A and B are shown apart, each in its own frame.
Chain A
């Protein structure tokens, strides 16, 4: 059974950085790309980016380009999202998510959609 378990809530000052983890289980980690989606309080869903867990390739939302880095540790079956130069409008719940369909070979799911989601991590940016 697929599970994505994220790290706990964070409170950060403006200008700081935050790193959120997403530990995957129930499948072979390099099989699916991991996406990140964020949701500001009372707002909609905003796609952040994806990481190819096989080769480490990444793709980011233009809105966050230059401030976001996605990485993974295949030995720990864990993906990470690091966001720097935090601003108040980065306050949001951050989710990791994967596609769960049939994957013949390599790493699949860079295109989504998202069958499985983590529980979300609240990042609060406040002075």
Chain B
């Protein structure tokens, strides 16, 4: 079974901290990796696709990197509004598997 392993499952950081979330695919997925942000009670919102391409509305403090099996989402300087759960997703082939999510809390 194809898997996306995301870590950590949760983290607590202070405003201004650099935060890194990782996602590992069980098979090579090239750069077919997206990152989503979800706040409670709302649908997810896509932040990044193609592993590193940010949508225009995404603040520059968010950056995606990686290819093949190992990927990273970095928030360079955490802000209070970044409190959310972040998911990676393999796309371009079924099943379009999500990682388990990383809940980011602000200290």
Contacts and interface: CB of A to CB of B under 8 A. Distances in A.
Interface of A: 35, 37, 44-47, 50, 59, 61-62, 95, 97, 111-115, 117-120
A115 B44 CA distance: 9
A113 B98 contact: no
A47 B89 CA distance: 10
A51 to B, nearest CB: 12
Q: Determine the main DSSP class of B at the interface with A.
A: loop
Interface of B: 32, 34, 36, 38, 43-46, 49, 55, 87, 89, 91-101
A31 B100 CA distance: 30
A120 B89 CA distance: 19
A112 B96 contact: yes
Contacts, number: 56
A119 B45 CA distance: 11
B43 A118 contact: yes
16 contacts: A37-B98, A44-B101, A47-B95, A47-B96, A61-B95, A62-B95, A95-B43, A111-B32, A111-B91, A111-B93, A113-B34, A114-B89, A115-B46, A115-B55, A117-B43, A120-B43
B36, B87, B95 pick with most chain A CB within 10 angstroms: B95
Contact of A113 (B43, B49, B99, B101): B49
Interface centre among B32, B36, B91, B97 (most CB of A within 10 A): B91
Given A45-B36, A114-B44, A118-B43, 17 more contacts: A35-B96, A44-B100, A45-B98, A47-B94, A47-B96, A47-B97, A50-B94, A61-B95, A62-B95, A95-B43, A111-B96, A112-B89, A113-B46, A114-B36, A115-B46, A117-B45, A120-B43
Contacts of A50: 94
A46 B98 contact: yes
